[in-house]
Structure 1
Amino acid sequence: MIEVERTLTLDHPLPDVVVYLADFAHTEEWDPGTVSCRPTRAGAPVAKGSEWDNVSEFRGRRTELRYRLVRREERRLTFVGRNRTATSTDDMSFEAADDGGTRMTYRARIEFHGLARLATPFLRKEFERLGDAVVRQLPGAVDRHFEAGARPAG
């Protein structure tokens, strides 16, 4: 299993950040590996149990995972994606920052199944680089989302 954890601060209030990140389709905007991410039920409200079909590219290969929102709380979101070769968990926890922004801890865990498990030690550095890229891209994606006129939560 590979685990990556990063902490970052976003310049938007906690409720707004949680609403934005709860819609996993937004991973196209902030996750460098995501090629596409579509809800399985277009137009349905985002709630615990919502699912998305995600296509990611990693080391030149595309893979598809079905992600499900398994935890949606005021200060925490957890998504679990699965396919035949891997289970991926994206866990996000939030706390209000003193300046009105949001401090976020992002934990990504991937567990490979079957023969793919043998590649785990060789892929750790690649996933660390992806974690660094998320920290670089996520703040700008959140900023652009709200600059484009998205309505704040509440």
Structure 2
Amino acid sequence: MSEPTVADAPEPASVDVLVTEVIRRPVEVVAAYANDPSNAPEWYANISSVEWKTPPPVGVGSEVAFVATFLGRELRYTYAIVERTAQSLVMRTAEGPFPMETTYRYEALPDGSTRMSLRNRGNPSGFSKVAAPLMRFAMKRATSADLRALKAILERES
């Protein structure tokens, strides 16, 4: 077997945003709600609609189309679920304006709360590539607000 070359190495993401939030609910409650794409418009401020391309529930191989607004532009993209465990969910764009991966991770805390992390990373192209620094800032701000909204929803339901 030959050694991998630099050309074989994945290109580093030009946008990589990670935010975390502690939610005073058990992991299974947080994961069940956050992992269901149908709930996305309730806690993602920029997502206006969700359409299942494959039948629910969510699992590896599921595809879900989203309509969102970001930086004043409407975006339409389809995510494919590539990993789902009790501690994580990973989605990658199957169709959309640029390759993106979104990862949810859940960590049970000793007091019964959950530390949820949400990471978005990808490689914008075209104008989006030029605007990557602005995109990072805007994504961090939006993602932080989205996790705070998720926290408020789930803690209100307890």
Alignment of 1:117-132 (within 5 A): 117-132=129-144
Are 2:60 and 1:48 aligned? yes
TM-score by length of 1: 0.83
2:41 is aligned to 28
Query: Greater CA radius of gyration, 1 or 2?
Result: 2
Alignment of 1:2-151 (within 5 A): 2-42=15-55, 44-143=56-155, 146=157
CA contact (8 A) 1:84 1:113 kept: no
CA contact (8 A) 2:30 2:114 kept: yes
The structural deviation recorded for 1:63 is 0.8
CA contact (8 A) 2:64 2:79 kept: yes
Amino acid at match of 1:116: S
Measured against aligned partners, the alpha-carbon deviations of 1:65-112 in whole angstroms (never above 9, x if no partner) come to 001111101111111124353122111111111111211111111321
CA contact (8 A) 2:77 2:97 kept: no
Distance 1:34 1:95, change over 3 A: same
Q: Secondary structure at the match of 1:95?
A: strand
Measured against aligned partners, the alpha-carbon deviations of 1:113-136 in whole angstroms (never above 9, x if no partner) come to 245322213322212211221232
CA contact (8 A) 1:15 1:74 kept: yes
* RMSD (Å) for aligned C-alpha atoms: 1.9
Moved over 3 A (4+): none
CA contact (8 A) 2:53 2:64 kept: yes
CA distance, structure 2, for counterparts of residue 6 and residue 84 of structure 1:
23
Count of residue pairs the alignment pairs up? 145
TM-score by length of 2: 0.81
CA distance, structure 2, for counterparts of residue 84 and residue 45 of structure 1:
22
